[in-house]
Amino acid sequence: MLNHQFVRVHFSDVMPRDETYSGPSWRYDALVFIGFDNMSERYVAHWLDNFGGRYSETLGYGTRRDNDSILFVFEYPDGPLRNTFAWHPASKTWTITIVQKDNNATWTNFAEEALERDR
């Protein structure tokens, strides 16, 4: 996207809603734009989702953990969040693992997601 400066990731909730579903009544939707800042030698993530503008004003800054993953840190007003994007070359898929710091200053699991390329 944008002259090859950003990769766009579209998160779209595909959880089926039936009588066994106990989650929220709304579907999560997000657009994430990931780019690389050559001056600071780090990645940047603009995360826009249906939680609204308050959470979209915080940028995530990322560094490579190894050849196949990037750790992004978001310093949100209500506490920090870490999001690791990991590439799995054998299956050609991505996963994300999100942890957040709770009120006891302990990192806890927030979400784990599998990503696949839109066909």
Q: 14 vs 92, which has greater pLDDT?
A: 92
pLDDT tens-digit map of 38-82: 999 999 999 999 888 887 888 999 999 888 999 999 998 888 999
User: Can you state the percent helix, strand and coil of the chain, rounding each to 5?
Assistant: 5, 55, 40
Six token digits for residue 48: 């826009």
Whole-model pTM: value is: 0.83
Residue 119 has pLDDT above 70, yes or no: no
**HSE on the CB side for 43, CA within 13 Å?**
23
Q: Whose CA is closest to 2, among 42, 44, 54? A: 44
Q: What is the DSSP letter of 117?
A: -
User: Where are the extended beta strands (E) located within 1-57?
Assistant: 6-12, 29-37, 42-49
What does residue 53 show for φ and ψ, rounded to 5 degrees?
Answer: -65, -30
Residues 99-118 have pLDDT tens digits of 999 888 999 998 898 887 76
Supply the pLDDT for residue 117: 75
pLDDT score at 44: 96
Residue 68 contacts residue 51 (beta carbons within 8 Å): no
